[in-house]
């Protein structure tokens, strides 16, 4: 066995093992090219929570992840007492219970509603953006397919490097079909991305972070895709650096959180914005979400009711076909429930201030998706994360 393989395999084995003086640490199974991994890692840095980073290579991807969660997704967290957790948002919500200091959830019910809505948008709508920029431009396609292959072949023979890069490049076309990405829609997606960055550029003229002078869950959720895809992919980094300097500065701040070496990371934080400030400053972003993401959710819900696996949606006069997602539906259900649980006077204030289409969607009767019924997310027991995995396993056993 080559020395580099032994060295890399030893590194992974050590990361997966907690020594006697490490029993308090989490283990994060992550991929450097996963926005959700980066979202969780930077949150942990901000909170000062110790963890060991486990690089998900080909062996972990094929064997360990299916055993732990019944599928191949990251990040996955192993708690100090060896419990398994999945889903970055729900992981953060669970960790907040154990580490409430410097919470990423504002106490203000209105601010926290905005926090959850923007986080949901980042997690569930921005994948269309990042898949477009990463795999829609040749420079990114060639660079990132090899970059992902380099991580997957960590601890594996380099003879697998090129074949793995080719495999990754070829499989990406399947994701295009899920997210309505094709020649007829790409220009519109590019325009939406630049519009969103311009909105954030203006917002950061007012505040250091999305909701004021301290980071929220919305910051970490937006940071993941913007940093990992837009900023670190070579083609998109060019337009981000040349057109949106304040967004890039915000990325630097988030990236350095928790790093106290040489006074590198910010440690002093101010206040959240007031309700009045939020209603004024967030209007462009909320209007953008109302125009793009909210119609996607309503169409998703209708498709679920009708039992359709895909649906057509027109945004900005451009029509595309999307694949239904139970996870997207569950995420928006939580946003609806949060809004509907607000006090009457709070909802009345929001109804007067927010876009009509957003209020209409939030007031709709909640359509429940049962994918997590009988489960306790983010915890995963016996490698079964939800009812979709349970059904898949039952079919396999009956075959």
Surface-to-core class of residue 399, CB atoms within 10 Å of its CB (0-12 exposed, 13-18 middle, 19+ buried) = exposed
CA 192, CA 81: separation in Å to the nearest integer?
44
Q: Measuring CA to CA, how many Å separate 160 from each of 7, 61, 176, 228?
A: 17, 15, 26, 24
Determine the pLDDT at residue 260. 83
Q: What is the pLDDT of residues 34-61, one digit of tens each?
A: 999 999 999 999 999 999 999 999 999 9
CB 110 within 8 A of CB 350: yes
pTM for the model: 0.97
Nearest to 30 by CA among 46, 42, 22: 42
pLDDT at 306 over 90: yes
CA 117, CA 381: separation in Å to the nearest integer?
29
pLDDT at 175 over 90: no
Nearest to 152 by CA among 38, 54, 61, 261: 61
Determine the pLDDT at residue 264. 85
* 375-396 average pLDDT score: 95
pLDDT at 312 over 90: yes
pLDDT at 1 over 80: no
DSSP label at 365? P
CA 325 and chain centroid, separation: 15
262 backbone dihedrals φ, ψ, rounded to 5° = 60, 30
Strand order in the sheet with 26-30: 51-55, 26-30, 76-78, 84-86, 379-380
| Band of pLDDT at residue 294, cut at 50, 70 and 90 | very high
Determine the pLDDT at residue 48. 95
CA 163, CA 201: separation in Å to the nearest integer?
40
CB 326 within 8 A of CB 388: yes
* 361-379 average pLDDT score: 97
Residue pointed to by tokens 């027109």: 314
Residue 27's CB is within 10 A of a number of other CB atoms, namely: 20
Q: What is the pLDDT of residues 342-351, one digit of tens each?
A: 999 999 999 9
Angle of CA points 156, 160, 161, to nearest 5°: 95
Domain boundaries, the chain: 3-103+373-398, 109-368
Question: Is pLDDT larger for residue 260 or for residue 22?
Answer: 22
3-state secondary structure of 13: helix
CA 201, CA 355: separation in Å to the nearest integer?
21
Q: Which of 43-52, 143-152, 261-270 has the lowest mean pLDDT?
A: 261-270
Determine the pLDDT at residue 395. 87
Determine the pLDDT at residue 206. 98
Domain 3-103+373-398 grouped into CATH 3.40.30.10: yes
% of the chain exceeding 90 in pLDDT? 95
């Amino acid at each position: 066995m080559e020395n580099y393989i032994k060295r890399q395999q030893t590194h992974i084995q050590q990361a997966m093992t907690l020594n006697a003086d490490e029993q308090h640490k989490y283990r994060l199974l992550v991929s450097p090219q996963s926005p959700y991994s980066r979202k969780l890692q930077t949150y942990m840095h901000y909170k000062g929570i110790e963890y060991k980073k486990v690089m998900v290579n080909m062996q972990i991807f094929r064997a360990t992840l299916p055993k732990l969660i019944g599928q191949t997704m990251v990040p996955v967290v192993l708690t100090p007492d060896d419990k398994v957790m999945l889903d970055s948002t729900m992981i953060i919500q669970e960790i907040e219970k154990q580490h409430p200091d410097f919470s990423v959830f504002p106490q203000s019910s209105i601010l926290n509603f905005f926090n959850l809505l923007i986080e949901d948008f980042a997690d569930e709508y921005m994948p269309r953006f990042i898949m477009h920029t990463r795999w829609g431009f040749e420079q990114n396609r060639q660079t990132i397919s090899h970059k992902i292959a380099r991580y997957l072949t960590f601890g594996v023979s380099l003879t697998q490097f090129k074949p793995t890069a080719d495999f990754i490049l070829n499989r990406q076309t399947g994701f295009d079909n899920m997210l309505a990405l094709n020649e007829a829609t790409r220009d519109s997606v590019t325009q939406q991305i630049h519009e969103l960055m311009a909105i954030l550029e203006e917002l950061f003229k007012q505040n250091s972070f999305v909701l004021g002078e301290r980071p929220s869950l919305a910051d970490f959720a937006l940071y993941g895709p913007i940093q990992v895809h837009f900023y670190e992919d070579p083609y998109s980094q060019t337009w981000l650096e040349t057109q949106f300097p304040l967004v890039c500065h915000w990325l630097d701040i988030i990236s350095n959180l928790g790093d106290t070496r040489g006074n590198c990371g910010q440690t002093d934080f101010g206040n959240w914005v007031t309700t009045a400030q939020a209603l004024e400053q967030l209007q462009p972003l909320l209007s953008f979400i109302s125009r793009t993401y909210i119609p996607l959710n309503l169409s998703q819900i209708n498709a679920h009711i009708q039992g359709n696996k895909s649906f057509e949606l027109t945004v900005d006069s451009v029509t595309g076909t999307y694949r239904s997602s139970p996870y997207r539906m569950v995420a928006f259900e939580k946003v609806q429930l949060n809004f509907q649980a607000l006090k009457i006077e709070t909802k009345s204030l929001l109804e007067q201030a927010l876009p009509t289409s957003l209020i209409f969607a939030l007031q709709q009767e909640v359509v429940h998706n049962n994918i997590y019924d009988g489960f306790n997310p983010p915890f995963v027991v016996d490698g079964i994360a939800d009812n979709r995995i349970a059904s898949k396993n039952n079919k396999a056993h009956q075959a």
